[in-house]
């Protein structure tokens, strides 16, 4: 499988090169030359254990020897505390896909436990080093650190918005003592952090000189890993309900998680609807309902991982929305960069894409969803998952069971749980153990020059 850029200005490259490059050198995002059609294999895959299913899906994208790919997958899932890796819990009309059983209690562990090991594997083959630069709105940072900490040939630099992640999320990132881990709190929003990362990646001379790599969802290997749990959950729910098609509701801000569901659908998974759920930062839900993608001001909420106005994975969807025409993608992205807005024509009957439905949940609705689920089912949702559950209620269909992605453990957002229920219910021993650990972080202005100097200082001191 070869990988091409959404902007079409660089030659196709192999899987390992795409993983190590992260962002394409023309500023686009890597996608496979073709999406494999796996409909002929669905019946045989229905009963596979998670690791075996992951191998069958990922081998269609990754040019690694079978033994090596299997070993990377097997070692990645051993860090999960549930034997199913991503179990599905039935709750009335909904099926909750729990993606928080990894080492940092967030869905991003699914991909980043694999990606950290994949980086180490590729670097060992080529005798290179890598300096990973990541922006996080909350969970990516700790999950990326957990996947990379202590590994040879790698350092990781994580930027997060000062005061705009939960206290527990911040402690997960800043209490890690490994010498290859560096965190910086940026005086700005997540969008500022993400813009700095992309600016430094576009500086090709700097990028090559310091050997920058990416773990954000701009890295194709993350999406490839996330596709697996869509298949796994769909198979289990279809078997449980006797239905032959499912729906997914996905709380999202960066469009990476739901784009993995879109890939699963393009591969042939019988998905009737992908329901996109946003909080007050509703740029994505507005787009799918109106065709207008317009940048706004970031509003801090109880679901900080979704407090985003520029979704870094959205360009991949635009590539397919444009009929796989990179020239049109470039026109759209240039227009968005200069005006803060792009428009796509809606279909007759409304909406951009019949596969997608979209809605949003504000803070009162999010808290009400947490409270209602706990009072009716005794089940705690984190605020991101609660946004998804709230939106899902508007798109239920008895013929297509609804699977809601639960993207983080509620203990990561204990204050929101207490606000919703009036009780101190959300705890986890992994998180409680962080309270007494020393913190390491650097506070930086929202400036690419400041971050550039920070990287150069730390890399130079280590060499």
Distance (Å, rounded) from C-alpha 284 to C-alpha 291? 10
Burial of 81: CB neighbours in 10 Å, binned 0-12, 13-18, 19+: exposed
Distance (Å, rounded) from C-alpha 233 to C-alpha 212? 35
Distance (Å, rounded) from C-alpha 258 to C-alpha 11? 27
**Strand 246-251 relative to strand 271-278: parallel, antiparallel, unpaired?**
parallel
Residue 390 bridge partners (DSSP): none
Give the H/E segment covering residue 181.
strand 181-187
Distance (Å, rounded) from C-alpha 111 to C-alpha 260? 11
Residue for token digits 């990132």?
A: 173
Annotated active-site residue in 2, 46, 108, 412:
108
Question: Do the beta carbons of residue 171 and residue 184 sit within 8 Å?
Answer: no
**Strand 181-187 relative to strand 442-445: parallel, antiparallel, unpaired?**
parallel
Closest CA to 114 of 54, 162, 168: 54
Burial of 84: CB neighbours in 10 Å, binned 0-12, 13-18, 19+: middle
Beta-carbon-side half-sphere exposure of residue 103 (alpha carbons within 13 Å): 22
Q: Is 291 left (phi over 0), alpha (psi -120 to 50) or beta?
A: left
Q: Is 22 helix (H, G, I), strand (E, B) or coil?
A: coil
Distance (Å, rounded) from C-alpha 45 to C-alpha 232? 9
Q: How many residues does the chain have?
A: 463
Beta-carbon-side half-sphere exposure of residue 379 (alpha carbons within 13 Å): 18
Residue for token digits 């080093």?
A: 129
- Asked about 108 being catalytic, the answer comes back as yes
CA 442 vs CA 207, 369, 455: distances in Å: 22, 36, 11
Count the Cβ atoms, other than its own, within 10 Å of residue 290: 16
Question: Do the beta carbons of residue 113 and residue 79 sit within 8 Å?
Answer: yes
3-state secondary structure 252-267: CCCCHHHHHHHHHHHH
Active site (catalytic) residues = 108
């Amino acid at each position: 499988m070869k990988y091409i850029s959404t902007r079409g200005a660089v030659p196709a490259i192999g899987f390992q090169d795409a993983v190590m490059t992260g962002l394409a050198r023309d500023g686009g995002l890597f996608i496979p030359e073709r999406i494999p059609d796996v409909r002929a294999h669905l019946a045989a895959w229905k009963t596979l254990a998670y690791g075996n299913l992951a191998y069958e899906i990922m081998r269609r994208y990754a040019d690694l020897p079978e033994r090596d790919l299997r070993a990377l997958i097997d070692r990645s899932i051993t860090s999960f505390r549930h034997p199913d890796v991503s179990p599905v819990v039935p709750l009335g009309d909904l099926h909750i896909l729990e993606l928080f059983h990894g080492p940092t209690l967030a869905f991003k562990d699914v991909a980043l436990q694999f990606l950290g090991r994949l980086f180490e594997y590729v670097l060992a083959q080529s005798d290179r080093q890598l300096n990973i630069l990541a922006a996080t709105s909350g969970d990516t940072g700790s999950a990326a650190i957990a996947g990379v900490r202590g590994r040879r040939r790698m350092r990781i630099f994580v930027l997060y918005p000062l005061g705009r992640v939960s206290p527990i999320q911040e402690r997960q990132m800043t209490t890690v003592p490994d010498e290859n881990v560096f965190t910086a709190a940026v005086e700005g929003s997540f969008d500022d952090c993400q813009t700095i990362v992309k600016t430094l990646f576009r500086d090709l001379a700097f990028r090559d000189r310091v050997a920058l790599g990416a773990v954000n969802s701009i890295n194709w290997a993350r999406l490839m890993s996330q596709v697996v749990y869509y298949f796994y959950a769909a198979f289990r729910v279809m078997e449980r309900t006797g239905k032959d098609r499912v729906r997914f509701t996905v709380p999202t801000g960066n469009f990476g998680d739901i784009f993995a569901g879109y890939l699963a659908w393009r591969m042939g998974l019988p998905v009737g609807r992908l329901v996109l759920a946003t909080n007050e930062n509703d740029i994505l839900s507005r787009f799918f309902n109106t065709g207008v993608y317009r940048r706004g001001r970031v509003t801090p909420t109880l679901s900080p991982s979704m407090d985003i106005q520029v979704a870094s994975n959205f360009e991949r969807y635009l590539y397919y929305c444009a009929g796989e025409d990179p020239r049109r993608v470039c026109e759209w992205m240039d227009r968005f960069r200069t005006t803060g807005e792009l428009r796509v024509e809606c279909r007759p009957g409304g909406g951009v894409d019949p596969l997608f439905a979209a809605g949003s949940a504000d803070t009162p609705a999010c808290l009400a969803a947490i409270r209602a689920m706990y009072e009716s089912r005794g089940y705690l949702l984190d605020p991101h998952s609660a946004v998804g559950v709230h939106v899902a209620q508007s798109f239920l269909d008895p013929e297509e069971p609804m699977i809601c992605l639960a993207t983080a453990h509620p203990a990561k957002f204990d204050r929101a749980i207490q606000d919703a229920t009036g009780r101190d219910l959300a705890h986890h021993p992994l998180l409680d153990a962080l309270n007494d650990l020393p913190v390491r972080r650097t506070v930086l202005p929202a400036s690419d020059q400041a971050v550039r100097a920070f990287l150069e200082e730390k890399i130079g001191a280590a060499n």
